[in-house]
Amino acid sequence: MIGGHARSTATRAVRLVVGLSLVSALTTACGSASSGAAPTLHWYIGKQSSPAFNDDATACSKASGGRYRIKVEDLPADATAQREQLVRRLAAKDSSIDLIGMDVVWTGEFAKAGWVKEWTGDRRSAVTAGNAPAAVATATFEDRLWAAPQNTNAQVLFYRKDLVPQPPKTWDDMITAAEKLPANGTIEAQGAQYEGLVVWFASLVASAGGSIIDNGKVTLGQPAVDALRIMKRLATSKAADPSLENAQEDQSTTAFVAGKAAFMVNYSAVYPSLQKEAPQLVDKVAVAPWPSVRPDQPSKVTLGGYNLGVGKFTKHPAEAFAAATCLRNEDSQVRNAAEGGLPPTILSLYQDPRVKAALSQSDVLLSGISNATERPVTPAYNDVSLVIQKTIHPERQIDPAKTERSLRSKLNAVLHSGGLV
């Protein structure tokens, strides 16, 4: 009994020593963390084929002078999969999400849900000055800035100048010109039931002088009827690619590079593919502004791209705002253009020789971005997009006036219900 008591006392003593040692170690660790060790900021963004974002992270980490280190956390390349992962983690108040590469259509949802911090005062001014107005609009919800514009993109018109002497000004002109061609007279557009279809429709509506949703209300009206008429006309014309209603950006590019089409609406990044895969066509292809809907009004293309958000639950907000500001500054935007072909949001950079060299037809692209529009900014965007896709596809079955009424009714129902997260 005496020996057992001694062993028990010794055991308790050992446990006490170990416990005190652990407390001491934790106290030391906490002390070192709070005594100036630079935090690692985790930047969640879609995986890219170029090194641009990793190079941005390295450059900004170095420029911080030891204030912070940025680590890129790759999300899937697909925007829908990116959103799903982020929504789950942000809904759980994940504090490891310091920086977010936000698709331009997530602003309303993320702001309304309280998942990103607002940019105010000098921070706001620093990331909006000199930007394309539409790029800033994509980061704005209810007149408040929720992200910093990082890069952008807009479609242009590619056309075969050996087949048509001048680029068409309007969609109707383009369809008429294509129908008259004896061969290669097709128009490549993105008519599949996916987000690219929403981009096409939104650009047509804006080019007709209208909008889909404005200040939380469904607008549509005659501009939407005009847009739907054009989509129906192309889909039922001999100028349409037989695969129009299944075509996304890659399929459109493949057909155009193969010499099967006279016209294509697509992003400017297609040009390098043309140079690489069809050098015999390079001298026969020109780039022009995206066609308008009305002869007396210029076209208004819909912007894509990424904005930079600061996670609401980050433990390092000051450092995160500073890092995000660096990740979209002039040096970073030039690097994104040169290494990744991503157009800047800062308009003056289109005069930079490095940007001009990286972006084919940068003057045409600048014109489109300067006069661009954004997709509906709403917390219910995901549902809005799905409703538009399902209602206007397939395009050959569109009845312009009837389809507009149906779309209006369905969108009102989505906005009334608040959408689904």
CATH code for the domain in which residue 128 is found: 3.40.190.10
198 and 62, same structural domain? no
Residue 172 lies in a domain: yes
pLDDT at 219: 97
pLDDT for residue 25? 37
Same domain? 384 vs 289: yes
- Adjacent-strand bridge partners of 307: 102, 149
Residue 394 covered by a domain: yes
The predicted structure's pLDDT at residue 23? 36
Q: Into how many domains does the chain fold? A: 2
Query: What mean pLDDT value characterizes the chain?
Result: 90
Q: Are residues 138 and 180 in the same domain?
A: no
Cα 137 from Cα 152, distance rounded (Å):
12
Q: Do 328 and 390 fall into the same domain?
A: no
In a domain, 320, yes or no: yes
Dihedral pair phi/psi, residue 157, rounded to 5°: -105, 125
List alpha helices for 162-264, DSSP H. Answer: 171-180, 195-207, 222-235, 249-257
A 10 A CB-CB count for 2 gives: 6
- Return the half-sphere exposure (C-beta side, CA atoms, 13 A cut-off) of residue 408: 16
Q: Which helix (H) or strand (E) holds 266?
A: strand 263-267
Same domain? For 363 and 396 the reply is no
What gap in Å lies between CA 29 and CA 236, rounded to an integer? 69
pLDDT of residue 36: 67
The C-alpha atoms of residue 86 and residue 256 are separated, in whole angstroms, by 36
Alpha carbons 334 and 354: distance in angstroms, whole number: 7
Please, are residues 320 and 116 in contact by the beta-carbon 8 Å criterion? no
DSSP code at position 149: E
At residue 31, the pLDDT reads: 36
Which residues of the chain carry a pLDDT beneath 70?
Answer: 1-36, 418-421
Peptide bond into 394 cis (omega under 30): yes
Range of the domain at 251: 155-302+380-417
Q: What pLDDT sits at residue 87?
A: 97
- What's the rounded Cα separation, in Å, for the pair 155 and 175? 18
Residues paired with 201 in a beta bridge: none
Residue 88 maps to a domain: yes
Q: Which residues contact 74 (CB under 8 A, 6 or more apart)?
A: 45, 46, 47
Interatomic CA distance for residues 207 and 299, integer angstroms:
5
Same domain, 279 and 410: yes
Give residue for tokens 């940007």: 355
Structure tokens at 281: 């066509």
**Where are the extended beta strands (E) located within 29-88?**
40-46, 69-75
pLDDT score of 276:
85
Please tell me whether residues 203 and 297 are part of one structural domain: yes
Same domain, 186 and 310: no
Same-domain status, 240 and 343:
no
The pair of structure tokens assigned to 127 is: 């990331």
**159 and 137 inside one domain:** no
**Are residue 403 and residue 263 in the same domain, yes or no?**
yes
User: Last residue of some domain: 370, 392, 407?
Assistant: 370
Evaluate whether residue 3 is within a structural domain. Answer: no
